[in-house]
Structure 1
Amino acid sequence: MEPREAGTVEPVTQAALLERVERVRRQGRFPRHIAIIMDGNGRWAQRRGWPRVAGHRAGVRSVREIVRFAGDIGLEVLTLYAFSTENWRRPPAEVNALMQLLVEHIRTDLDELHRNGVQIRVIGDPDGLPPVARREVLRAVATTRDNSRMILVLALNYGGRWEIAAAARALARKAARGELDPERIDEALFAAHLQTAGLPDPDLLIRPSGELRVSNFLLWQIAYSEIWVTPVPWPEFRPQHLVEAIEGYARRERRFGGLGDAVPAGTAAPASPAAPGRGDQPC
């Protein structure tokens, strides 16, 4: 997981970017699911002598551009790490600002997302969000539930260990009630109790800002994901950087832990089964 070297990126037209993506698609190496750790907002602002919240606000522009472009190139699933369970440890003023930005972003962009056929899903614990933020998040999920052009997964109040522990508790409760033989628990059944049930695991995990860690994000699901680290901070991350990551992914060979013949990068791991009794709509 080595970071890419920094360099000046020349402006690229939308048509040129779409052509580059189409070349990857023709090779059969296009990812189905991309997950992004949106990192570097605060440091980007501090380097300019601005408050950290200015970086978060600048990062909203990147969210808009990347979500639009992901839809344009036919990506099936885009997952954004928006707010972790650990982020509550930040100063209250910064947390409050992040929650306000979340509410503003949903109110400003929901109509466009809905028109463009984006289905919004949420992983994490929305009940732990402030009431207004929780209400807006659940409204976005309900409004876009039947859309099918692209799935946008927002990880909010989310932690990978928290999700795994919650799945383990659900299985333990079923076993305690006599509804489940513990010997039947395998990887597929466990995955069916995760909040991402029914979705393909991420093919590509992107981390802006150059940090070499996964930060408790989708710990189960990224077992075989390709990882792309770029020094570009999230407020400066644009569609051309996403295309660079996709092209880098397409040059790799995925082995899924084996030592035999590698498979093309576009070969995805099987989707997690739908969660029992819940369908495939986590929220």
Structure 2
Amino acid sequence: MPAGTGSPGPGPALRADCANCFGLCCVALTLTASADFPVDKDAGEPCRHLRTDFRCGIHQRLRERGYRGCTVYDCFGAGQKVSRITFGGQDWRRAPGDARRMFAVLPVMRQLHELLWYLREALTLEPARPLHGELREALDATERLTLADADALLELDVAARRGAVNPLLLRTSELVRAGIRGRKKNRRGADLLGARLRGADLRGADLRGACLIAADLRDADLRLADLIGADLRDTDLRGADLTGAVFLVQGQVNAARGDAATRLPTALTRPAHW
């Protein structure tokens, strides 16, 4: 964390803690047979591999069993928040009457926790210091929403909340990327499916929402690039430098391909399958 920011960063509360969750993602989400999942599963139907203790029976073999999507999904800590706080530790097996509401709250909470991740990251960025007051206000307001009861969460207009926070994140990104001299590439929302970008200079580039599925970014320079919402499924990041990449999250990294030479922001971990 840069000196003098006064913010602890995303922190453990925004990281999935499956030991304190009732396996919500293993039940609440719909699975479609594809390259990411070997079977179809309806929302509300427990995965066949979910054990009675709410842990995954094939956790160490998910990829080899065809559940690659499970290794990419990140709830940003929403699972344990819904399990332990919103529903007070009452699980859906012992309280089946609450099951449907619990499963419906999960995606709402996940979106709020994702916003909390971005806001906390923004508060660690020294160039964004002029915005820290507004960022803290947005953080506190979003945090209060996550503590609402289930009914209030189900009625919440999450899109409106995201719309209120996004301009702050945009301004944060602009301040951070201004530190890169020269003209920076603007590929926001670009279709770069399978693009050949090996060794490309993308320092400070705007890649928000870009489709980079299966793109070749080997040895590319992505320092301080804004990657919020970019689709990095099967993106080749071997040897790429993502030091200081803005708003890059673990799920994006897990979906990509990398190696020991790939450089990541300090808040993220190198996936075991790299």
After TM superposition, the score normalised by the length of structure 1 is: 0.28
As a proportion of its length, which structure holds more helix?
Answer: 1
After TM superposition, the score normalised by the length of structure 2 is: 0.28
